[in-house]
Amino acid sequence: MVEILVREFDAERDSHAVEEMERRCEVGPSGKPSIFTDFMGDAICRIRHSPVYLMLVAEYEGEKGIVGVIRGCIKTVTRGRKPFTDFPIYTKVAYILGLRVSPTHRRLGIGTKLVEKLEEWCRQKGAEYAYMATERGNQASINLFTLKCAYIRFRTPTILVQPVHVHRKPIGSSHAVIRLAAPLAESIYRRLFSAAEFFPKDIDAILSNQLNLGTFMALPKKHLPVWDPQASRLPPSFAVMSVWNCKDVFKLQVKGVSPLTRAWCAGSRVLDGFMPWLQIPSIPDVFQPFGVYLLYGLYMEGKGGMGLMKALCRFAHNMGRDDVGCGAIVAEVGRRDPVQEAVPHWQRFSCAEDVWCMKRLVGEEYCDGGEGGPPDWVQSQPSSPVLFVDPREF
């Protein structure tokens, strides 16, 4: 029987081989629409911002080169609130991403071996659960995790993509957008997402990360003179979000479209250049590698919340417009999250159902049900329609 060797990634030794192997795979990252191809860049950059992470590679006995790769990271997140309190339940989870197997070495058990080895490391680090994300159409990945590795379909968030074009979007004269200092943003987020799932306990590390471009709040201008940012009470109507710069982490490129579609997209840019006063939402050149901004921590409240969230999305679009290389603004939200209706997006580029699968890694006697929640998170219903997407794992 041929042996599959799985070992830890060595940056000096393996970087080039991993990049070459992933380029041969020509597969978009977990959760991205299938028309996109992902250029990973630095092989470990997608997880190095997480508190605990690991990358494994696989080699096939008797052959040279790397034939498989997988990444994983561990963090502590919320899984809802303790009954009759405002205190969140925290759980240690592992996120598995970036599983790739060389096209010439598939159906040999390499993917399964990589997952098992990574799960073993996650248990040693104290993770109670592991989860992964993939698009609904990636049946091979879903089958691997659900049929061979005992994962269960868990949540199905939606990915919304809005291309960035050359025109600035108006914010609205009645709306004000302010930047929140990191300590204030942390305090507000801990309050707003205490009942949500997957809200990271180390949100302060995320907000202070160099890739975080800021946390912004939109509120009616009439509330500016009376709202004290240092007070515990929030405005009666507001929207809040943070912006994460993915440009330097990975690049995307649209592939698999017809020459007619390419010509139509190019024509929209030419027409826009000749008649800019028409404000045509021309499509940027997404057929070349481009970067994205991720909107995360989206939340709105109050009678005018939806309009304020739209104003924030326009503000983020304008940030991307002013940054060379940013081709799209992306948000991932829960399927029942009301902000979904407020986030502008193009259906062709978006993904209506991103599949998250989960598995419990430890026995029930070691699980976190003792904190007041159900003994098995995998079997529970969502504690809130709001789902927090960690930008470090996108």
Q: How many CB atoms lie within 10 A of CB 86?
A: 9
Closest by Cα among 121, 115, 120, 116 to 100: 115
C-alpha to C-alpha distance for 371 and 83, rounded to whole angstroms:
10
C-alpha to C-alpha distance for 164 and 175, rounded to whole angstroms:
22
Q: What is the pTM of this model?
A: 0.88
C-alpha to C-alpha distance for 375 and 371, rounded to whole angstroms:
9
Closest by Cα among 254, 214, 257, 220 to 236: 220
Ramachandran area for residue 174 (φ above 0: left; ψ -120 to 50: alpha; else beta): alpha
Write down the residue that tokens 């240092």 correspond to.
230
Count the helices and strands in the chain (H runs, E runs): 7, 16
C-alpha 97: how far from its chain's center?
11
Ramachandran area for residue 34 (φ above 0: left; ψ -120 to 50: alpha; else beta): alpha
Output the CA torsion 215→220→225→231 (10° steps): -50
Residue 127, CB-side half-sphere exposure with 13 Å CA sphere: 26
Closest by Cα among 55, 54, 58, 64 to 110: 58
Domain spans, the chain = 4-157+354-393, 161-251+283-341
Fold adopted by 4-157+354-393: Aminopeptidase (3.40.630)
119 and 93 Cβ atoms separated by less than 8 Å: no
C-alpha to C-alpha distance for 152 and 131, rounded to whole angstroms:
9
Q: Does domain 161-251+283-341 have CATH number 1.25.40?
A: no
Contacts of 53 (CB under 8 A, 6+ apart): 44, 47, 71, 72, 73, 74
Task: pLDDT tens for the chain, 394 residues: list them.
Answer: 568 899 999 988 998 888 888 878 764 444 343 445 555 555 566 677 888 999 999 998 877 889 999 999 999 999 988 887 878 999 999 999 989 999 888 899 999 999 999 999 999 999 999 999 998 888 999 999 999 999 999 999 999 999 898 888 889 889 999 999 999 999 999 999 989 999 999 999 999 999 999 999 999 999 888 888 877 789 999 999 999 999 878 888 777 677 887 787 788 777 777 777 777 777 777 778 889 999 999 999 999 999 999 999 999 999 999 998 899 999 999 989 999 999 999 887 788 789 999 999 987 544 554 444 556 899 888 888 999 999 998 8
Fold: same for 4-157+354-393 and 161-251+283-341: yes
Closest by Cα among 148, 202, 158, 159 to 359: 148
